[in-house]
Amino acid sequence: MPALVLLGAQWGDEGKGKATDLLGGSVDYVVRYQGGNNAGHTVVVGDQKYALHLLPSGILSPSCVPVIGNGVVVDPSVLLSELSGLNERGVDTSKLMISGNAHIITPYNVTVDKVTERFLGKRKIGTTGRGIGPTYADKINRVGIRVQDLYDESILTQKVEAALDVKNQILTKLYNRRAIAVDQVVEELLGYAEQIKPYVADTVLILNQALEEDKVVLFEGGQGTLLDIDHGTYPFVTSSNPTAGGACTGAGVGPTKISRVIGILKAYTTRVGAGPFPTELFDEDGEALRRIGGERGVTTGRDRRCGWFDAVIARYATRVNGLTDFFLTKLDVLTGWEQIPVCVAYEIDGKRVEELPYSQTDFHHAKPVYETLPGWSEDITKAKSFSDLPKNAQNYVKALEEMSGAPISAIGVGPGRDETIEINSFL
Ligand code: GDP
Ligand code: IMO
Ligand code: MG
């Protein structure tokens, strides 16, 4: 029962899409287990570039069944436009399966996301504005709308009424906005129902049966460990659990089934939106990482904040996810630096701290303690094996591995599928 979890070890955008796509050809199912279209995964196949938001990156591998698990939040209009965009480019999406228990991002959830951020002003989270937080809040408050509700008009109407009851009070009285009409929402949602119907399935049963039959299942995380609602830099996080445990609850598969947990780790660090980021650079190096790494959000088009590699975070990701492997990405971006600083610990109020502090206040005060490693200038994008890398690049990888607490089993040296050095097989 080979079940693998692949997740972001930092603040998202580590290259999960590329890594998933790379494995997609060898696995039977790729399952998204949390998040929604706040994700932006770029996959490059030959000369074709795909930007995926809600669909699992396995959708580009013809042999693989893509699954949207119960833990995901689904915006039906985004789902349908992403599917038709892929169909127009000749990608067969007919195998897609969507859990009937996945929650729907309704138009009012998107509105609430945007007005809440505006209301927070300087204290805003910098969300993607896709309705993610309010949809998960409705789920927890037990006023959410699920995919299966699209197939019972009376239930759907009652649930939308219940959800809008309080929201309309808030929208009109607190935010000075117009109330949202129940009928209009119901009509819009019903308009998606028939198009989505062929994909709706009992994904929990199907995935567990597949594992019983020794099929290979890959669980693909959105976002990253430090954006996790429980283990991330709360409140500057997303509203779901991208960490490994989220794969179990978000897909309905027991932890005993998971055989491997792969953390996708960028060779430096990026973050989008607000929140603490100890190794963030505000100088020419940060600008160069952004330019060379193409660090611009796939979903919102925002520039990503950039900084040096942070080993404290990598160690933390190893611990909270039980990582068995790392996939180190974007090593090629660091080519050309004479010296590369790496954060090995923090200094907090004059004291050296080796592990991520649990206190938000301490983390806000954390200053990086750097060790500097010698860089390399040779082009590494054609490297096929570890020994093809220049000595200093090899040493950089080995140093990161030692500091991060799990073996680096693959290295990305470019965005393409074949621009990858495989060290240990994942399957
Ligand atoms: P995700 O959200 O984790 O899937 O990552 P994104 O797709 O948002 O951002 C990663 C970006 O880096 C994408 O543009 C990828 O095409 C690109 N990428 C992935 N791996 C590599 C790599 O090893 N080298 C380079 N240069 N680019 C990479
Ligand atoms: P992928 O899957 C990077 C960030 C947002 C914001 C915070 C909360 O491409 O790695 P949300 O809309 O989720 O409520 O926003 O989380 N965020 C991401 N940052 N990559 C992502 O996804 C992200 N998804 C959400 O920028 O700071
Ligand atoms: Mg991304």
Q: How far apart are CA 250 and CA 204, in angstroms?
A: 9
Ligand nearest to the CA of 15: 1
The atom number, within ligand 1, closest to the CA of 411 reads 23
Catalytic residue among 139, 159, 167, 266: 139
Kindly give the distance from the C-alpha atom of residue 164 to the centroid of ligand 3, in angstroms, as a whole number. 32
Strand 41-45 to 48-52 pairing: antiparallel
Instruction: Retrieve residue 18's tokens.
Output: 């590329």
Ligand nearest to the CA of 11: 2
CB of 135 within 8 A of CB of 145?
no
Active site residue 165: no
368: left (phi over 0), alpha (psi -120 to 50) or beta: beta
Residues of the chain with pLDDT below 50 are none
17 lines ligand 2 (CB under 6 A): no
Active site residue 139: yes
From 42, 112, 123, 223, the mutation candidate for ligand 2 (largest count of ligand atoms within 8 A of CB) is 223
Closest C-alpha to 372, from 323, 308, 301: 308
Residue 239, CB-side half-sphere exposure with 13 Å CA sphere: 22
Q: What is the pLDDT of residues 114-163, one digit of tens each?
A: 999 999 999 999 999 999 999 999 999 999 999 999 999 999 999 999 99
8 lines ligand 1 (CB under 6 A): yes
Non-local CB neighbours of 388 within 8 Å, separated by 6+ positions: 380, 382, 421
Q: How far apart are CA 205 and CA 84, in angstroms?
A: 28
Query: Burial code of 223-260, b = ≥16 C-beta within 10 A, e = fewer?
Result: bbbbbbbebbbeebbbbbbbbbbbbbbbbbbeeebbeb
Catalytic residue among 21, 41, 75, 266: 41
3-state secondary structure the chain: CCEEEEEECCCCCCCHHHHHHHHHCCCCEEEECCCCCCCCEEEEECCEEEEECCCCHHHHCCCCEEEECCCCEECHHHHHHHHHHHHHCCCCCCCCEEECCCEECCHHHHHHHHHHHHHHHHHCCCCCCCCHHHHHHHHHCCCCCEHHHHHCHHHHHHHHHHHHHHHHHHHHHHCCCCCCCHHHHHHHHHHHHHHHHHHEECHHHHHHHHHHCCCCEEEECCCCHHHCCCCCCCCCCCCCCCCHHHHHHHHCCCHHHEEEEEEEEECCEEECCCCCCCCECCCHHHHHHHHHHCCECCCCCCECEEECEEHHHHHHHHHHHCCCEEEEECHHHHCCCCEEEEEEEEEECCEEECCCCCCHHHHHHCEEEEEEEECCCCCCCCCCCHHHCCHHHHHHHHHHHHHHCCCEEEEECCCECCCEEECCCCC
412 lines ligand 2 (CB under 6 A): no
Domain ranges of the chain: 3-87+203-422, 103-198
Ligand nearest to the CA of 300: 2
The pTM of the full predicted model, rounded to 2 decimals, is 0.97
The correct CATH number of 103-198 out of 1.20.1740.10, 1.10.10.10, 1.10.3720.10, 1.10.300.10 is: 1.10.300.10
Instruction: Identify the pLDDT of residue 229.
Output: 98
Active site residue 41: yes
Tell me whether residue 301 is annotated as binding. Answer: yes
Kindly give the distance from the C-alpha atom of residue 301 to the centroid of ligand 3, in angstroms, as a whole number. 11
Q: How far apart are CA 194 and CA 199, in angstroms?
A: 10
Tell me whether residue 202 is annotated as binding. Answer: no
Question: What is each CA distance from 121 to 115, 198, 241, in whole angstroms?
Answer: 10, 42, 26
Class of domain 3-87+203-422: alpha beta
